Amino acid sequence: MPLSDRKQELLNMLSPSAPTDVKKIAEKLYVSQPTVRRDLAQLAAEGLVIRTHGGVMLSSRAADKSLPLARREYLMNEQKTKIAMAAARLIKDGDVVMADNSTTVLHLAPFLKNKQDVIVVTNGLRLAEALATASVKCLMTGGSVKSEAYGLVGEEALSFLRNYNADICFFSCRGITSDGFLCDTSVGEDDVRTVMMRQSKKSVLLADSSKFGLSFWHNLCHISQVDEVISDQPVDKNAYKK
């Protein structure tokens, strides 16, 4: 894995509220602990992480600015593809689908082109582009562009979503805390996800295993409020007590 990609994936694993163990990072990135420590030294010099005894935390500077979607799109790519394939099996011909602008949900696009009469409602600019290429009918929300995420947020986006009823919605988040709260660094994106869940008969969280155990400052909801969770590793929702 190129150094720049590894550093971005490393940042995506960190939380601003609790330290992450260096050994855990090394295991998930499939590199040695000395390699992780060298990467962390560079990131600390850039002011993006804070070193702790045996671990590391995301700095407030890094936490306040989400990783650009163009970079996040390639992180955990194999796992996201596996998750998207499983998610696509839940979509029936004729379904109305709500989908957020997360990179995991973006991986759904190529698996929808053989579905019949499916309509996707999304706030994701990149997802809308991918669906157009796949000739899948797509409705875009209005709203303000969140540039680093290529997504639309704000009251116009929320108002648009309230006008539609969906059979299923797919969304992701930055982290799932040890006690089961889905969390993120963007209130605007979480507001969109909340409305999508309310307007859909079924809500499905798509989250790769690197997100479990991570904590960020804004809670979307508890995992018990989600109808289904799809990950690259088995997930038992009952293991999380609210």
Tell me the pLDDT tens digit for each residue of 156-209: 999 999 999 999 999 999 889 989 999 998 899 999 999 999 999 999 999 988
Confidence of residue 77 (pLDDT cuts 50, 70, 90): confident
The answer on 127 and 87 residing in a single domain is yes
Structure-token pair, residue 105: 């949900």
Q: Are residues 26 and 116 in the same domain?
A: no
Whether 114 and 216 share a structural domain: yes
Structural domain span for residue 170: 70-239
Q: Structurally, how many domains does the chain consist of?
A: 2
Asked if 99 and 109 touch (Cβ cutoff 8 Å), the reply is: no
Q: pLDDT grade, residue 70 (50/70/90)?
A: very low
Domain termination residue (choose one: 20, 49, 64): 64
Instruction: Clarify whether residues 174 and 189 are in a common domain.
Output: yes
CATH of the domain at 127: 3.40.50.10470
Same domain? 123 vs 18: no
Alpha-helix residue ranges (DSSP H) falling in the chain: 3-13, 22-29, 33-45, 60-63, 69-72, 77-88, 103-106, 125-133, 155-162, 187-198
Q: Is residue 31 domain-shared with residue 141, that is, in the same domain?
A: no
